[in-house]
Amino acid sequence: MKRDSFQAIADPTRREILNMLAYKSLNVNAVAENFEVSRTAVYKHLKILTECGLVVVKQQGRERFCEARLEKLNEVSDWVEQYRKFWTDKFDSLEKYLIELQSKNTQSENNITNPSPLSHDI
Amino acid sequence: MKRDSFQAIADPTRREILNMLAYKSLNVNAVAENFEVSRTAVYKHLKILTECGLVVVKQQGRERFCEARLEKLNEVSDWVEQYRKFWTDKFDSLEKYLIELQSKNTQSENNITNPSPLSHDI
DNA sequence: TTGTTGTGAAACCAAAAGGTTTCATATACA
DNA sequence: TGTATATGAAACCTTTTGGTTTCACAACAA
């Protein structure tokens, strides 16, 4: 289906699911209980979240526990943050933010992830 | 239609439009010229972006200049940033791990592409 | 005036999204 | 064993999405 995080979080139910799973894993039924819509509908949302990596599922007996992988949101964060300066009115704040970002980047220059605000990796 | 920013940026074409308008205003035709799809299709995207306030239109003669209002993205930013710790913490752990690893074996730095082996249990 | 340009809107279409009900099946438990 | 539970999948439906072609019209330019 080639879904991405942007599409996944466009739906308010899916955002709520992510919030619900942020601090504790729940099985499919437990997630579904929190919504008006049917279990099957929630299951489909979970499937979409799984497809784009925002949720992983771990089988445990007949239950399947859903776990949020919120670090996948960095794809969205990176895109949005490149425009942060447009709503951060005080230049100081932006400067501070950039400095903070810069220090992070230099610390990790020799490895793994591309820290560019435009990167869509991992 | 009660659209929100989350839905607006779910579409890649609309994200590209926003990027295009980030630093300069363009009239409708000028925006449309940059895309494969028809002017009418682009116009509809612009309408959606206008409806949720991410773009404002200023008439000038027979032309309508589209201006990005990227500060409206703070709705998205606020939501995403509340979860930043979920990937910043991991990143920190990875950094520590790599620094430790590098001090023992410098060659290993090229092999690590995914921080998931270091996942915290939440 | 006449023709060209920039734009909005209408009618239409196929596919995707989000939902439902129903059924199948594997696991747990009395 | 037999029954309840947790889940996945299929079939189906309606609305939304993203696109098209076509037409209307105001503003500009010759």
Each residue's pLDDT tens digit in chain A (122 positions)? 568 999 999 999 999 999 999 989 999 999 999 999 999 999 999 999 999 999 999 999 999 999 999 999 999 999 999 999 887 765 555 556 556 666 656 555 443 333 333 333 32
CB contact A86 to B (< 8 Å): yes
Residues 1-60 of A with CB under 7 A from strand C: 1, 3, 7, 10-11, 13, 36-38, 40-41, 44-45, 48
pLDDT for the residue numbered B3: 83
pTM, entire model: 0.78
pLDDT for the residue numbered B106: 47
Question: What is the DSSP track for chain B?
Answer: ----HHHHTTSHHHHHHHHHHSSS-EEHHHHHHTSSS-HHHHHHHHHHHHHTTSEEEEEETTEEEEEE-GGGGHHHHHHHHTTTHHHHHHHHHHHHHHHHHHHH-GGGGGT----GGGPPP-
Q: Of A96-100, A108-112, B29-33, B95-99, give the range with the top mean pLDDT.
A: B29-33
The nearest alpha carbon in chain A to B85 belongs to: A71
Averaged pLDDT for residues B110-118 = 34
Averaged pLDDT for residues B29-49 = 97
Rounded Cα distance, A48 and A26, in Å = 16
Residue B93 in contact with residue B118, Cβ under 8 Å? Answer: yes
Q: Between B67 and A23, whose confidence is greater?
A: B67
pLDDT for the residue numbered B87: 77
Q: Between B122 and A43, whose confidence is greater?
A: A43
- pLDDT band (50, 70, 90) for residue B67: very high
**Chains A, B: CB pairs < 8 Å:** 89
Q: Which of A115-119, B37-41, B57-61 has the lowest mean pLDDT?
A: A115-119
CB contact B71 to A (< 8 Å): yes
End-to-end CA distance of chain A: 19
pLDDT above 60: residue B35: yes
Distance A32 CA to C19 C1' (A): 14
